[in-house]
Amino acid sequence: MADLTRLTISDALQKMQSGEISALDLCQAHLQQIDRHDSAIRAFIKVTPEIALEQARAADNARANGDERPLLGIPIALKDVLSTQGIETTCGSRILQGYVPLFDATAVARLKEAGAVLLGKLNMDEFAMGSSTENSGYFPTRNPWNSEHVPGGSSGGSAAAVAANMVMASLGSDTGGSIRQPASFCGISALKPSYGRVSRYGLIAYGSSFDQTGPFARSVEDVARVMAVIAGHDPLDSTSMPAPVPDYLTEMQGELRGLKIGLPAEYFAEGLQPEVERAVRAAADQLQSLGAEVREVSLAHAEYCLPAYYIIAMAEASANLARFDGVRFGARVEGSDLIDSYKKTRGAGFGEEAKRRIMLGTYTLSAGYYDAYYGKAQAVRTLIRRDFDALFAQVDALLAPVAPTTAFRFGEVMDDPLRMILADVLTISANLAGLCGLSLPCGFDEAGLPIGLQLLGAPFDEARMLRIGCAYQEATDWHLRKPALT
């Protein structure tokens, strides 16, 4: 039998429907792949083989009775920021060690309802704070293309697991680039949905006005299949939009003739790795050859994206992480009194990056500084959203690099928080403005590390980004290349 871990979701569904393979075959093949390779890659915080095998057998029984749910029998895994009923959910942090939710996040529940098979929970930067997965409270994750390099972050485990063929798809979260950047570093496809498109219920919050859950997969078509399941209004999430969800698989088909794609000059500025710029501009040429019109555009307030984002995001982190005090859930360190217990629990439970962001966020929200920092950052955010509104009145999508460089080496930027933050400089604007963003591979550098491009679209225009991405992948083979795992 051919290697089942290399199938796309579309191929696997067809083979299961025809009886050529079973969901149990597919599940066992991916569990074996985890056994072979995850001791080196370390994408998983927790593997759930018993749950997976039970769900796979149930999927086979359901299919035998005519069930045709959209992800029936497909092996997936989840970033450990998503609540899973009965399964420990740590958010990559020691402070939540031992926390077992009583409910599923809405996105998780929808995957289960669609018949997906859960293989486990995936590693991440603690509370999604980082760009390399080196800030995990447990262990770093390795890049499947080169174990000396990071997989990106904060959803590094989600990207690495798909790139290493350990799962067919995964979910991550994107607060400032945490889906798109690791997808770029690991050479796979992934989508950051528009704010409000996918429910945040059960997603442990870092920045409540930025966070979005989204899918990783081996191709844009597979991304669309997962997105079709998790998208849509959720009454449990007050930020979830009641906008209708398109038929992504149908709408992603079609030619690009007549579409206008903008290249923002500010995303091709000094500091961009030359190989990255060449690959992304070559992708623009490819899209032009497919019928799209490509033109240079400009984002007036681009230079203010980074400071505005980090002021607001850290303020929200300070507020959101205040709940982790050792009283209601997670780890607890006893003290001489309640306040002492709070201090010891938070001091021992949070890592250095989480502490840094909590302190900075608390400072910007404090009396005398709120208006000077937080208030101004919110005003700048409004200007940035207006800039994008103006651009999307002229073009249908924006094309840019995902990150200024390919995956950096372990430890290379760990001791330089500012340089780590700059790894997200090309992705955070989409979160500030609530845009959708698709990341997909477009080449490799001289060291053999993947290069990713991002397609940014107006809010709730995911279908058009998927259409452009699908057309690009039909004309190229970058997404078909796999790391040589050892």
Domain housing 460? 6-262+394-480
What pLDDT is attached to residue 270?
87
Q: Phi first, then psi: what are they for 447, rounded to 5°?
A: -85, 0
Task: Label each residue of the chain as H, E or C.
Answer: CCCHHHCCHHHHHHHHHHCCCCHHHHHHHHHHHHHHHHHHHCCEEEECHHHHHHHHHHHHHHHHCCCCCCCCCCEEEEECCECECCECCCCCCHHHCCCCCCCCCHHHHHHHHCCCEEEEEECCCHHHCCCCCCCCCCCCCCECCECCECCCCCCHHHHHHHHCCCCCEEEEEECCCCCHHHHHHHCCEEEECCCCCECCCCECCCCCCCCEEEEEECCHHHHHHHHHHHECCCCCCCCCCCCCCCCHHHHCCCCCCCCEEEEEHHHHCCCCCHHHHHHHHHHHHHHHHCCCEEEEECCCCHHHHHHHHHHHHHHHHHHHHHHCCCCCCCCCCCCCCHHHHHHHHHHHHCCHHHHHHHHHHHHHHCCCCHHHHHHHHHHHHHHHHHHHHHHHCCCCEEEEECCCCCCCECCCCCCCHHHHHHCCCCCHHHHHHCCEEEEEEEEECCCCCEEEEEEEECCCCHHHHHHHHHHHHHHCCHHHCCCCCC
Is residue 62 included in any domain, yes or no? yes
What pLDDT is attached to residue 328?
85
* pLDDT tens string 256-315: 999 999 999 999 988 899 999 999 999 999 999 999 999 999 999 999 999 999 999 999
The pairing of strands 397-401 and 450-457 is: antiparallel
312, 320 Cβ separation under 8 angstroms: no
Q: Which residues are catalytic?
A: 79, 154, 178
Is residue 294 included in any domain, yes or no? no
What pLDDT is attached to residue 144?
98
79, 122 Cβ separation under 8 angstroms: yes
* pLDDT tens string 12-44: 999 999 999 999 999 999 999 999 999 999 999
Is residue 67 included in any domain, yes or no? yes
Is residue 362 included in any domain, yes or no? no
Residue 22: which CATH number? Answer: 3.90.1300.10
Is residue 485 included in any domain, yes or no? no
What pLDDT is attached to residue 1?
57
Is residue 253 included in any domain, yes or no? yes
Distance CA 166, CA 5 (A): 7
Is residue 66 included in any domain, yes or no? yes
Global pTM value: 0.97
**Count of domains forming the chain:** 1
Distance CA 209, CA 88 (A): 26
Is residue 354 included in any domain, yes or no? no
What pLDDT is attached to residue 279?
98
Low-confidence stretches of the chain (pLDDT beneath 50): none
